[in-house]
Structure 1
Amino acid sequence: MLNKALRSRDIDTLILFQFIITDLYEQLKDLHYNHRISTSAPILCVYRGQLLSKVELNDMKSSIGRYVSFFSFLSTTKVREVALSFITIAADASKNMPAAKNDLQRVLYEINIDLTSVTSKPYADIKPHSYFQTESEVLFTLGSIFKVEGITRTKDGIYVIKLVLASESKSKSKELLHYIKSNLEEKPDIISLGHVLKEMGAYDKAEQCFERQLCELKDHSSFEAARCYIGLGNLAYVQGDNDLAFDYSQEALKINESLFFDDENLSVCYNNMANAYSSSKDDYQKALKYHNKSLALKTKTNGGDSLEVARSFFNIGLTNYHQGKYEIALKKFNRSL
């Protein structure tokens, strides 16, 4: 029921389940760090069998070589035959569907996990805690990130999608993972769900998340309230309502400056204020002031060569360009490369 609500973006149900989502995440995190999966090999392969629509399968095909994230807690098994049995069960059930609606394809995910690597999204072997221990289940948390390595088709028509769990300790994916982590947040809750929905273009549902959470908060000067205002400000900005984006960003900044404990969140507020001054007020001097404040905090938090710092240099270059300072703009653009 929880995964169904996640897939359908059922905000009302997800709000009811928010404590279960958080608790499940915390339990997975504890198991991941304190009860590591033991195996003689450094690479563990797990499997998941299911049906995908032709549209979803084509999306996967177009994602080969790229990273994907699943909008649910992902259940897998160490036993290939168990995953194949789930495909058979699902395929038999789909036979009762009208032919026009039944475009489902049989899919087997093969997921390689480098057990020696670091990932920001916890996973764990939950067999000792599962009612169905014969399934040898490995559970990935909501929003786990994978690279699509390739897709093949077996003689009996099953599409095999090969995935690799993305790792922060692999240099090629480290920047990407940091970007996703800093923009979509690590801990799953209703606010982080709103950010994910915003990135997916589901603006109305994202707004529901932020507004509902804000209504439930008793203290509108809290860190959680600031997160809601940041989300609402980002939503207003991407939808072109620059005045509203300015108001929300200003409210979030006021709260975060009074809290003094989260440089990363404060840098987001400074960046949003800079965008608001550029777009809503045409005040490029104040925009530069806030872009530089954001840059200083991002450099302190992430290091001078991070993707977030590069984005700040690009924004500073763009602001200088709008001011007609083309030589300075070019230097900042080059620094962002």
Structure 2
Amino acid sequence: LYEQLLAHQCQKRVTVYRGQVLSIVEYKKLEKSCGSIISLNSFLSTSLNRKIAERFVRQNMHLCASGDHVVVIFEIEADPAVVRMQNGNNRRPFAQIDELSYYEEESEVLFMLGSIFQLNEIYHNQLSSSADGTVSTIRMTLCSDHDNDIKQLYDHMKNEYDREEANLLSLGDVVKNMGKFDLAEKYYRRWLSELPSNDPSLGVLYQRLGMVADAKGEYDASFEWYQKSLEMKMQTRPSDHVNIGNTHNSIGETHRKKGDRARALESYNRAVSLFKQAHNEDHLLLASFYNNIGIIYQEEKKYFEALDFYEKSLNIKKKHLPSDHPNLGSSYNNIGAVHR
């Protein structure tokens, strides 16, 4: 069948439709999965003609009477360029198979086993005849193998951490660490849209969005996210000096990158003060704060002050890190640069 699909592969972008009966549990899961990647473990039969899908919906409306099921229409956009490999073939082809299908009038398009899609949105619209009422339409887009790698990573995370559901924050963290900042922002924003406005985890999420903006060089946006994170953390966890201090340090980094050394130094010192209040004077993060203060003083050519803070940073690192750790090397380099 793969060879037949490959031989009849669609050569241009198409929009196809499929009517389907879902349990209410399945439907609710899909509602919560907008923006996510989903894969299919079977072949998927669709039609170029939406009316074919609507006819299926009308014929099966009676199954929804109990409230346990819902009839939906899948609307799928598929571009053959998305699944085309370097050799010109398609790993997971989709093809219009009128001449192979028993129902030629249905303009059937069949997707290969294992095809993957992004679930874009679910919306409600009228059937062709307004008397027939409304139907939920689930809009999806065919994705590439790159997106499948992300899907596999997501599945791996669920197994690795023994969670029933690896949330979008976790997935965003992983792709952020892979350097995929736009994708990370997408997952973070999707998670943001699902949280209530008073959720205590918003402080962490705002911090992540600030980190992504910072990595993209969007320092104004980064500063705004860090400020929101700081405000939320101070409201929900006022005694969490470590996390609040870390956010002050992040704000300081943003000021420094924007060239405002005075405000950067002010934020760094607030971070140090909070850590000392928490009796964490040897915390490894404090070494980072001291190092950042040293950078400010070095940029201002205040070398004695810079050296003092670089040495404070080094002394803390020595308590936590092995002697051959590269972070120790960076401290020695900073100290050496001041002496030069």
TM-score by length of 1: 0.42
Specify which structure has the bigger relative contact order, considering alpha-carbon pairs within 8 angstroms and separated by 6 or more residues: 1
User: Which structure is larger by alpha-carbon Rg, 1 or 2?
Assistant: 2
TM-score by length of 2: 0.42
